[in-house]
Amino acid sequence: MKENSLYVYRWLLLDCKREFYQFNHVLRVLELVWINSISNICISSSIINNRSLFTIFVCISILQEDRQLIFSYTNEEDLHKYFFSSSSSSSRSHRSTKRILQRSQINYSNYILSQK
Burial of 9 (0-12, 13-18, 19+ CB in 10 A): middle
Domain that holds residue 109: 2-114
| pTM, two decimal places | 0.65
Output 57 or 18, whichever has higher pLDDT: 57
**Count of structural domains within the chain:** 1
Q: Are 58 and 33 in contact (CB under 8 A)?
A: yes
Max mean pLDDT range (36-45, 60-69, 74-83): 60-69
pLDDT of residue 103: 92
